[in-house]
Structure 1
Amino acid sequence: FEQLVERLNVPRSTAHTPLFQVMLTTNTDYGIENQSQQFSLPDVSLTAESANSVVAKFDLSINIQLSEQELNMQWNYDKALFTKEHIEQIAEHLNTLLAALGSDDVTEKLKISDFSMLSPTETKHLLFELNNRAHTNQSKNCIHQAFAEQAIKNPKAIALVCAQQELTYGQLNSQANKLAHYLIQSHRVKPNDLIGLCVDRSLDMVIGILAILKAGAAYVALDPDYPQARLDYILEDTGLQTVLTQKALRHNSNITHRAMIEIDGSDYVQYASTNPKIDMPVNADERLAYIIYTSGTTGKPKGVCQTHGTLISFSAEFAEQLQLLAIEQHSPWLWGSSYAFDASLKGLVCLALGKPVVVASPQEYRQPEKLVNLIIKHKIQVFNAMPQLLSLVVDELETHQIHLISSGDSISAYILEKLLNYCRSSNKKLINAYGPTETGINSAFALINDIEVIGKPTFNTTLLVLNDHGQLLPKGVVGELYIGGDGLALGYLNAPELTKKQFIANPYYQPTDSGSSKRLYKSGDLVRYLQDGNLEFIGRVDNQVKIRGFRIELGEIESQLSALEQIQTAIVLAKDLGAGDKSLIAYVQSDKIIPDQDKFTAEVKAQLLSSLPAYMMPSSFVVLSKIPLTPNGKIDKKALPEPEIVSLQGQYIAPQTVFEAELQTLWS
């Protein structure tokens, strides 16, 4: 082997052995070799003994001895890469697979992929023991009903605070009830109808959500910051006839041919303030609560239809998370996320739990120093945000310490170290919460002490790691995460084929097990189980990324770019620029001569802004005469050039806040 490596003159690396890393050898002499381990010389007795250590030439080498009676395997491995327990696990899997292949049930029609290498004990552990999170004592009330109960118990307690305004539980419940009665009587809203909600983050936002739910309808999030083309698509896809909005937005909106109701108007003030009585389906899993649109691969966003069952199940889970952090009952929750993202539902859950909620205005949420002012002013004990925003907030915090909940994006090594150092110095905790919109607000969570993990399942949630053939994978092996449980959405609005593709029947469903889920959501996230039962996020199987917490299908951006007249082909990648930040880079091929690339980029951005939200806008454009291809005709992403730093900087804009000015000083 050493001579072969020398002759080939292959590039060497200290990370692995050259040429290959795993070697399998077999010996089938069937007794020809002398098996005696002891022989004699005159006056000398010699006995072979095992050496105390063995030098591993390869990462892993397996020597198989075959005879008529048995098969013996000798495993030689690099201890820097494998543990004894890991090798024993691999050997057990191989034994199980070989035993299955040698059984009488094997037919020619079966493939290797049809056989499982897991023992019944390991299968039981992966299916049931790791997912033993059933919670049967949760409330049967919907979130708006639980909130109404809190309003009866504590009508004078503060429920909502935003800017200089506040509402008690009694006042909030009364206003939401009046609006709900108005929707039912004047607009004939029926159970499971869809009502649009187009408002700024404000008291009106919460009043509108509660009123829609109390009327038995489901709200459709229409973020006023969305481009008009995106709003138009959502309006057309949902067929909305009624939209709740505000006076200031009504005159600036192009939402036409629909009933526009001003939440801050006076049309409904004379209606009853009692809780409406609505005949709804008994099963909360069949009662639509909200539709949130996420990025789609076809170039159009897709509407995720979520139920009241999701909110009921998460309410019990979130209460446990807050208890884990020892959060006081009357400590306010800071609602920062847009209602167009499911993380915002935590604010609604807090109202149902009887906690006061502070709503950050759009201006406050975009400026870390103003967020910190809110945290200090209202004595917030825990703050939930994307890891990038958490990083900026802890920079501003001085004497006031808080617990941190990171969600919406994976935590880079740089930011993770920063957040952990903050928590250690302030004796606070860091939680990482994970969950796609299709599976509820959180599907897994973990207390982070050293490495980033997405953790273990939340209440009434099933997490399975499967391979391409739908088979369970053992701990340590990377596969796709499939999610089941009470948090599963009904599917995608007006997209039955996509729903069928992403929401599949659970091949391991057990009718006799109350915790077993009939359906699974194909998340597209690559994960693996660690030995302690926590899941570790590895990456994506598709073209989806998260940038600063926003879930983005790169294919949607590529589709919009390719539709432009001046662009033939477009590729969009998410590039890591260091310091825990990623940026979208667009590589475009044009058949036109482009003398001024800055002008070309500005024109393309202006066109994209009419159809894509700002968070999906590439920060840099690289114009190529030809997109590089691999020998088999696929796009060679590795051959794409790195964007110039200057192109990432864009037009210079002077600092707008004290925080921005301090950043400029630090980096100047």
Structure 2
Amino acid sequence: HQLLEHVQEITTNTMKYSYFPLQLILDQHPHVSKYAFLDTSLEFISYENDNNKNAIMIGDCQLVPGSFLSKINEDEILDVRDFSLSMHHDMNMNQLSCTINASLDLFNAGTVCIIAQRLQTMLHQQFTSFHCTLNKPIYELSLLLSNEQYRMQSLNNTQTSFPSSPLACIHHEFVYQVIRYPQKLAVELDEQSLTYCELLYYVQVLSFTLLNEYHIVPGEIVCQCVERSLSMVIGIMAIEMAGGVYCPLSPRDPQHRLHALTQQTQSRFVLVHYLTKNKFHNDILAIDIHSIFANNDLMSDIDVDRLSSITITPNDIAYIIFTSGSTGIPKAVS
């Protein structure tokens, strides 16, 4: 009964959030007896069964035949409903069994199996002694399957041990990977890709330009506003290698927000590419990453040595990001 009441409550509460004008569509076809929409059925049957002689044990579960099963015609159910869930409660044995009937014209067999597994997971939580003692509401029960829980734990386990040094900086680890796998694919987007060696070259060119022409110093905030591209990765690593603090700006933000964020960070310039170079006013210096690569010659060994001599420690700030600012002024988080 608690399950039925909860389903009824959820269904009623979700009506006000419905953006699909189902009733309006149905009113336009008053003469149609069966609509081309999903018909669902939920029924709860309680019965008494005195005949337990034919009980069958399957593992730790007892399968008890019910007399009502002979009265149910599955073909008739599917003619009326495209999806039906029947829950049968044996009052004598205090056992609960469920039957799901679904039209394979509308549902994939694998989808129906997953629905059944989620229902089993929910019922197992609701009727085990541990959860019963806690009197846990149904809406707080988890519908995640065991393999999904394991997958989520794996995705949330973001700790990575780096073999080179536990106190290395981000760009140090990047160079370490370049030394180990120079010809392996480092970054890929659509039909574009760069190996570790190629990526390092572009990063060093941009880093040296920031140092030589724009004279950035360690700890200086450098903003970057680019679309998702190879240039985004190059810009991030170049700012880190030059000793700057990376600050991403979203190209989807309006100009007044971009201007406010650059003012708040006191950034002297913004790295852009051809899709975002018109996002900023004339009072903000926008540096086109692509033009730097087109106009730059090969670096000498002295330039590489200068990049290597920049003093950066793992205690220095690597990046800052801003909150959405929906409740006030955007706040920076490092």
**Which TM-score tier does this pair reach, normalised by the shorter chain?**
0.3 to 0.5
Higher helix share: 2
Task: Tell me the TM-score normalised to structure 1 length.
Answer: 0.27
Higher strand share: 1
Task: Tell me the TM-score normalised to structure 2 length.
Answer: 0.48
Which protein has the larger Cα radius of gyration, Structure 1 or Structure 2?
2
